[in-house]
Structure 1
Amino acid sequence: MRIQFRHVLLLTLIVNFLCSTVAAAVERVAGTHVSLNPPPNFEKADKFPGFMREEYGASIMVMELPGPFDEYRAGIEDKDHLSTRGMRLLQKEAVRVDNRDGLLVHLSQVLHSLEFRKWVLLIGERDRNVMVMANYPAELEEEFSMILRESVLSTLWDPDQQVSKEEGLNFTLTESGSMRLAERMGNMLMYSKDAQVQPRSVDDPILIAGSALTDWPIGDRKEFSRKRLQLTATVTAIEIETLDEVRVDGLEAVEILAKAKDTDSGKEIRLYQMMVFKGQTYYLIQGMVSLRREDEFMADFQAMARSFKCK
């Protein structure tokens, strides 16, 4: 379950991502072990680790990902798999970045009737990887493609540097029971029993928490929460049992308890979701564990979700 979760999360995060020349100064990306040269006039993003030029809908996002390099490589160079996510592979090339072998791909994706282009860099060692993604409108390809490509290729990675996993995030959660912070992936935190980085089966609980990358026209909060639940990776046959409007940190929120089936094993699992809304953005907290162990962890899922606070 964990491998597929990482794989799908990786691909779904490449969906919401301009300028003149690459800046001379290397800047470390908050919450990561990565530094790079952002283009001029790009500001530090407040919703994800990276930089953005909001007026153009352009950004550079950094994610550190656990697991085998080849697994992620397969996910971003397989044309058929990318097409199922609405993406098209334009080119790929082997690169050498920061004395490491890596892969650089150029992608196209249509979002809300607008075409965007993406430069995606993947480098790794052992079971640690870095993905750097630059996004810009396709209509500005000539002006900005090569500049953002250079910025992505300026990546420096020091995986042994001491960095807080929560640095730069705009929210906090409090751990509960044996659930501990295990990993950070972009703007998302993953908690597991005793901080296992790679849970072995659906019997091992996982809770993720993160913020939306951009503002959204949310509308009806209950319906929005239902639709988001149906997008949950690695599960099928989702059945909502309870759906309640609550308040968390003084904000409107929707809490859902559901049953589902793990797509790999077919086992029934308990699915917990809390969505916290602030203006036109939202925060997602989602936990899952096998039905046979729900009594051990469901209270922790709920306690952690209700401990949510905006910074």
Structure 2
Amino acid sequence: MTHIVNKTLLLFLLSFYSVFSQIETKNYTKISGTKCSILAPNGFIVSSNFNGLQNVEKGASIMITELPGSYFMMHENFNAENLKSRGMILISKETVDYNNSQATYIKVRQEANGIQYLKQIVMFGNQDYTVLANGIYPEKYKQIEKEIKTALFSIKYNKNEDISTIENVDFDIDLSTTNFIFTKQMSNTIIYTIDGKFPTEHPFFMAGKSISKINAKNKKEYSVERLKNLPNGKSITIESITSINIDGLDGYEIIGYGKNSKEEDEQIYQIMLYTESSDYYIMIGITSLENKDYLKTFKEIAQSFRIKK
């Protein structure tokens, strides 16, 4: 299950970011919720919507995400074919010297809402973790490209920093009656496992909130689309889709079956709840069929969801 855990988390994190308090130390800005600090480019301030920096005037941002798992595997996965499947066109990819080690430097182009964006991605790590720093800006502001590149390569990683508490998410879920425990938080994605390890070979549960507004006229179809965007999601067989209301938010509960990268059967549980302000919350539970009794537990956790007052 480990490989699908890593890919699922990557897609999850590319969609959701949390409200964090960044701490400015001298010229460096500490990105809370990560072990990273960065030199902010001119015009960039700490974001109130994701863990990173933003330039509101130019619609540009620098997002930093930490992922468990091999940097070397992630390097291989960031290829033209995989990027194209996510709507991104690979411009260039190279391995560069970085902080007495190596990093991957990638440039891509992507269209979103009729706007052409350019992205610079710096990725580094080792066999156990990967740091993904993503600089995004509209192509019409290409003149800030050099500043963003300089900022990305200024990132410092403090491997000894402890990040062991849940920070600044605007919702709660109750796991006190289950054997799940808090394991990690990456951006505003909270991860729970039963063995306290991640990646894990055992059932796991994740919850997060959208970073941007959506214009989903048919929320049922959008919920199915999000499910199908999971790794191997196109092959997921949907058993049921049920309208649901939790803490005053309407949404959809989906139960499905699929296979992981090892072709092992798995059960997938997804809840999406939609707000009146065009945000959404998503919860995902994945377990092997040998542990399919965890479906009941996934439902209990989802029903405990509450927005913080």
Which of 55, 67, 70 is residue 69 of structure 2 equivalent to?
67
> How much does 1:166 deviate?
2.2
Mapping for residues 86-105 of structure 1, pairs under 5 Å = 86-105=87-106
> How much does 1:237 deviate?
3.1
1:154 lines up with 2:154 in the alignment: yes
* Cα distance, 1:259–1:11 mapped onto 2, change above 3 Å: closer
Number of the residue aligned with 1:246: 245
> How much does 1:146 deviate?
0.7
Moved over 4 A (4+): 11-17
> How much does 1:14 deviate?
5.0
* Cα distance, 1:166–1:47 mapped onto 2, change above 3 Å: farther
The alignment partner of 1:120 has SS state of strand
Number of the residue aligned with 2:4: 4
The alignment partner of 2:292 has SS state of helix
Aligned-residue CA RMSD (Å): 2.6
The alignment partner of 1:56 has SS state of coil
Number of the residue aligned with 1:234: 232
* Cα distance, 1:257–1:52 mapped onto 2, change above 3 Å: same
Number of equivalent positions: 298
Instruction: Structure 1: give runs of 5+ residues left out of the alignment.
Output: 18-22
Identity value in percent: 23
- 1:225-266 CA distance string (max 9 Å, x none): 233223232342321324122122xx3132414121214344
Mapping for residues 173-252 of structure 1, pairs under 5 Å = 173-176=173-176, 177-200=178-201, 204-235=202-233, 236-248=235-247, 251-252=248-249
C-alpha contact 2:220 2:252 (8 A) present in aligned 1: no
User: AA paired with 1:45?
Assistant: S
Number of the residue aligned with 1:20: none
C-alpha contact 2:16 2:189 (8 A) present in aligned 1: no
Mapping for residues 33-52 of structure 1, pairs under 5 Å = 33-52=35-54
Number of the residue aligned with 1:298: 295
1:125 lines up with 2:123 in the alignment: no
* Cα distance, 1:36–1:172 mapped onto 2, change above 3 Å: farther
* Cα distance, 1:123–1:168 mapped onto 2, change above 3 Å: farther
Shifted more, 161-170 versus 4-13: the winner is 4-13
C-alpha contact 2:118 2:137 (8 A) present in aligned 1: yes
Number of the residue aligned with 2:20: none
Instruction: Structure 2: give runs of 5+ residues left out of the alignment.
Output: 18-24
For residues 123 and 242 of structure 2, what CA distance do their matches in structure 1 show? Answer: 39
- 1:194-216 CA distance string (max 9 Å, x none): 2221223xxx2121111112111
* Cα distance, 1:149–1:223 mapped onto 2, change above 3 Å: same
Number of the residue aligned with 2:271: 274
Number of the residue aligned with 1:262: 259
> How much does 1:24 deviate?
7.3
The alignment partner of 1:222 has SS state of helix
> How much does 1:66 deviate?
0.9
For residues 33 and 167 of structure 2, what CA distance do their matches in structure 1 show? Answer: 4
Number of the residue aligned with 1:309: 306
> How much does 1:13 deviate?
5.0
> How much does 1:120 deviate?
0.7
- 1:85-112 CA distance string (max 9 Å, x none): 2222222333333443211111111223
C-alpha contact 1:109 1:115 (8 A) present in aligned 2: yes
